[in-house]
Structure 1
């Protein structure tokens, strides 16, 4: 069964918030905890790094005068391939993954690691692949060349 009705419908930031709430609720189930020295700081550093990566992606889009709206990739005005976009094609989504990872470490529930996988699988299937299809239609060879140079995540 194809779930194409999910494509480009759920803003990624909303998905991150939903997953953070669910991770927090899972903590109330008193499942297997993991604890280590400086756990809070490590979680904060991971989340902070994620916010920096997100900000870098947003600033690159702003400088290129193109849209950052993830549910309307057809409003993109150009392929952005410099700066952080020369390292990853999806820095904002990668940054969100780091934020979720930081939250997961902070919460300290092993089961929450599964939500990181859910985030990546959801994003690839219902956000990134549809975006790539639209960008390929809009920019053709320029986008195809970019895809061959830069990885989807890292």
Structure 2
């Protein structure tokens, strides 16, 4: 598999990097938006995990072959990758709280890495496991949002 760093570890490393990058002296986005993004992150993350529990299938990012059912209900009707989207929203909240204008670069790098080394390999496995059902799903639902 092409996965180099699991998304949760990459998330932690990205959050640490944002913390140590320069911060603006004037707040360009009110901190309240950080709370909003954190709330959205929690909602999206919980909804995505709930969908897997409801369908009684595995959701480990380390081994997508454990998935025994294609989950397309709930939040998965809006995004094919809501778990990763929730991590992006949490990084956005963190960047806003820290007033880090460089956070956007870290978040873009996080999204690129997760797409290249997690989502693309994951989706290859899902095409092999679920065939046309998954390719039809890919055409109907966007990767991120």
TM-score under structure 1 normalisation? 0.88
8 Å CA contact 2:15, 2:94 repeated in 1: yes
2:26 and 2:76 map into 1 onto residues whose CA distance is 34
List alignment gaps of at least 5 residues for structure 2.
none
Q: Are 1:148 and 2:139 an aligned pair? A: yes
The change in CA–CA distance for 1:104 and 1:139 in structure 2 (over 3 A counts) is same
- Equivalenced residue count is 145
Deviations 1:86-133 (A, max 9, x none): 010001011111000111111112122100100110011000000000
How far did residue 70 of structure 1 move? Answer: 0.2
How far did residue 14 of structure 1 move? Answer: 1.4
Aligned residue number for residue 27 of structure 2: 35
TM-score under structure 2 normalisation? 0.93
Aligned residue number for residue 113 of structure 1: 104
Aligned residue number for residue 91 of structure 2: 100
Q: Are 1:25 and 2:17 an aligned pair? A: no
Aligned residue number for residue 59 of structure 1: 50
